A and B are shown apart, each in its own frame.
Chain A
């Protein structure tokens, strides 16, 4: 029995598969899991049984992620499925996104947390509207690494010219929408070529397999700036254990949160926002145990030298490069609700741990996803529309541009009548 438990740990990579309907996203994930031996015997037996019952000759690998009754009935993906595998050195979280236009909002959910996107293209059908839409969402969501998988190469005789032509076509799209650092891999998810194993059918391709790309990709942690100057921690809770029997805790005040960027050490000066009051960090701790430092993505508790007024929704930051405090903002937004955006209404905006009321003052343009052109001043926004909006806020928020800092530049809009999350926004 071999153990995958090793001391070398390359952290955790989150990626999503996206692209148009039936381009093979779910099959690709099934293949990755199958070839990295992450599928367990009973799951496979179940799958074989289901595939047979559905009259399929070989095992349908997409059934691995299409876990809902409705999905299996219709043979499509409706909502994101999360899957896990580990290569021994790195742990992966995969989000399998649906391709159907109707479920684009679920793809947006998957994209928001990804460090890398795999955009699938069916070698026969080429780049479709939905491919373009997903590529645009990946760009808007600031996914730092993109792999375009030209799939179903088995159906075009593994022709290198098909691959070259699609690569060229996608490069045009990428240039139009501003998608950078794109890599291309030809593959057959069904046959398993160029995913984990190279296979024999495409000797003409000399680049890395998909798994090789994943193994060497940067994780969100390595992408996040980690130096002192960009330290930001939105405060989730204030810890005041005064009722404790321990008199030493009587004056304890800890500010709890997850560091969104940068690092912090005892002795550092910090500013509390939006108040602008300054103090010095005395302790960085977790669960009452002192740490030497806290780094991006860590959840910590920070204690300060001075009694300043800080509550949930405030932010601690490095004083030299503190984020801006604004009551008006411009943003790109993906509209996620069946109810159109209504400019007469007030929405709740949540950014970091802060919730404020907002009105949409203006919609300068909506992106036409077919042409990627900008429609000026649309009357309203429908589900799955992507648009530029100008916001007026009832109270200030402490923020950065999304392109600079995903953690402090992202927000959601909540419909206060239904409590639903209706918009995903990225500050400009």
Chain B
């Protein structure tokens, strides 16, 4: 009777796990939401949500916390994709928190990245969300490598890394009291390479800045800084046009491109498989500040 069944490829397995996690959120939580930024991880999450819930609508709205410092290509893409899917998109912006006085910048050109937590927690309170589904991956950063798939946040939105809920098998426990919430990470076990391979397999459309293009930049330290209104060249720096692509798209002030001529997915996969620098190492201008920068931000309620 027993017959051999072909091995589930690693992508099929990862996809099946992610679908199960999204469905658990829908099954256990009353008011969940899915964080959608227009970046590559959240684009994969939308495909997973389609596979999890179609032909029905998603049982949650899409939410974006807008720093006001995003690349316009990404914002356009975000709006278009939500419209194509016919799903509700909620955008809350840091500017509103600044007007309310709940975010106070030390200087106008300070990176807004870490302040996202404030607007995020305000949005959670506004809609009484009890679970936020996010596209974070454990391979991104050492604090994330420790986080559960269903990760508990107390009523201040804080993560307590020393006292996480045991998480056994695929029996996820999303129970919370009022005011507390969960974060659920369906693609926890995916690597950057898995994401690109999935994008290729599923033929997912991406914002154009993920592909090699020519852009004015300056070289600063070991890094490449894209020249924009927000990130002008400093006196004496030479602006050059370079072939670059983004590995991650976040706040302009803290996301840098990498030098690359990979102008299609196949080339990006080849580059990713052969790369020697981690995604955040290459592109995040904020995580290197301290050994524990991410852990600290997550404790404060960051994604």
Contacts and interface: CB of A to CB of B under 8 A. Distances in A.
Contacts of A9: 7, 9-10
B5 A244 contact: no
Contact of B277 (A42, A239, A240): A42
Chief secondary structure at chain A's binding surface: mixed
- Classify chain B: how many residues form its interface, as a range: 35 or more
B281 interface: yes
Contact of A410 (B8, B168, B191, B269): B168
Contacts of B189: 82, 84, 93
Nearest to A92: B10
A12 B13 contact: yes
A350 B171 contact: yes
Interface residues of A, number: 84
Nearest to A409: B169
B14 A12 contact: yes
Contact of B175 (A43, A219, A239, A419): A419
A219 B5 CA distance: 13
B55 A252 contact: yes
A420 B276 contact: no
A164 interface: no
Contact of A68 (B166, B171, B295): B295
A78 B162 CA distance: 7
Interface in A221-267: 221-222, 225-229, 236-237, 239-241, 243-244, 246, 249, 252, 254, 256-258, 263
Contacts of A366: none
A67 B295 contact: yes
A414 interface: yes
Interface in B248-303: 269-271, 273-278, 281-282, 288, 291-292, 295
Contacts of A286: 19, 51
B8 A297 contact: yes
Interface in B6-22: 7-10, 12-17, 19-20
Contacts of A244: 55-57
B179 to A, nearest CB: 12
B295 A236 contact: no
Interface string A402-428: 000011001110100001110010000
A304 interface: no
B10 A11 contact: yes
Contacts of B271: 1
Contacts of B128: none
Given A5-B269, A81-B146, A424 B52 contact: no
A288 interface: yes
A216 interface: no
Interface of A: 1-5, 9-12, 40-43, 46, 50, 65, 67-70, 72, 78-84, 86, 90-91, 93, 105-106, 108-109, 112-113, 219, 221-222, 225-229, 236-237, 239-241, 243-244, 246, 249, 252, 254, 256-258, 263, 286-288, 295-299, 312, 336, 350-351, 353, 406-407, 410-412, 414, 419-421, 424
Q: What 4 pairs across the A-B complex have the smallest Cβ distances? A: A67-B142, A42-B281, A287-B51, A299-B19
